[in-house]
Amino acid sequence: MSIKHTTEKALQMLRTLPRVTIGNIRDNPQSKQNPKRGRGQHGGDKHGAGNKGSGQRQNYMRLGYETGNTPFYMRFSYEPYYKGHHLKREYPPISLHQLQKLIDTDRLNARAPIDLTTICNTGLFAIRPDLLHHGVQLTDEGADDFNAKINIEVQHAPESVIAAIERNGGVIRTAYYDPHSLYAVVNPKKWFEKGVPIPRRMLPPQDAVAYYTDARNRGYLADPDQISQERLVLAQKYGYTLPKIEDDPDYAMLTEAKDPRQIFYGLNPGWVISLKDRAIIREKQ
């Protein structure tokens, strides 16, 4: 049907056009002009630098300077609670809920031992030794829904997390890594490409020896017989039947552990890994 009259054409255009709102209208071209130049409140004559003084000369006071007064950080007495806070070891948290999700999405293989290297290889967690990160701590968020049978090594874990893992027939171990070894653990590929030997893990410092030698914490330096006894004590405390690892078909995987001086499974300290040649250069006996 052809449109003959201008009125009908205008009506048809109004039917197709959107309703006029604030969002689809604009000012006429050049209807608003800014008479000022530059920035500031002086019509642009100061160019945003203010009126005289250090602000005009771009000579700003250093951070924390209070024009001769006693600074805020020196106005109060020393608080010993913060002594050495910049040297304390940090352990970024990973919850059992996150760990279960990584296993369900095949980012972690529950049929193989899990350690700090496999957690970092997922690409979802960043361990920064330069920020005093010394590993990860496993938290109990999602402990009631955790149902994986794993062999995991972390740096810190509370009692509820240990019970949640051992209830499913798994094994947990807490181990210490010195900062030099952490650089190799969190990024093995970068370490191997440098062509340097695998470092030997150092023993924990004096303030961490008690934690990693305690069987209740499943420390990697604890007595295995005491750990077996503490497993039974924890099962009685939390009211679950402790599965027998000896009868488990995955007994070899569940009991696999590193040497206290070892940082990678199957690789000894002093070996050099050549990714280009796909070879392992072992040290002479």
* Three-point CA angle 106, 109, 114, nearest 5°: 130
Average pLDDT estimate for 45-73: 77
Q: What local confidence, expressed as pLDDT, does residue 37 receive?
A: 55
Distance CA 273, CA 270 (A): 10
pLDDT at residue 282 is higher than 80: yes
Distance CA 91, CA 99 (A): 16
What does the mean pLDDT of the chain come to? Answer: 88
| Confidence band of 93 (pLDDT split at 50, 70, 90) | very high
> Does 23 reside within a domain?
no
Average pLDDT estimate for 79-105: 90
pLDDT at residue 14 is higher than 90: no
> Does 185 reside within a domain?
yes
- Looking from the CA of 246 toward its CB, the CA atoms found within 13 Å total 1
> Does 153 reside within a domain?
yes
Average pLDDT estimate for 249-258: 92
CATH of the domain at 268: 3.100.10.10
Average pLDDT estimate for 56-83: 82
pLDDT in tens, 145-192: 999 999 999 999 999 999 999 999 999 999 999 999 999 999 999 999
pLDDT at residue 105 is higher than 90: yes
Domain that holds residue 276: 86-281
> Does 77 reside within a domain?
no
Across-strand partners of 90? 133
| Cβ atoms < 10 Å from Cβ of 254 | 19
Hunting for tokens 């279960």 — which residue is that? 100
The number of domains in the chain is: 1
Q: What local confidence, expressed as pLDDT, does residue 7 receive?
A: 87
CA nearest to 170, candidates 186, 194, 191, 154: 154
Q: What local confidence, expressed as pLDDT, does residue 42 receive?
A: 53
> Does 196 reside within a domain?
yes
> Does 254 reside within a domain?
yes
> Does 34 reside within a domain?
no
- Percent pLDDT > 90 in the chain is 61
pLDDT in tens, 116-129: 999 999 999 999 99
| Cβ atoms < 10 Å from Cβ of 96 | 22
| Contact (Cβ atoms closer than 8 angstroms) between residue 238 and residue 244 | no
> Does 40 reside within a domain?
no
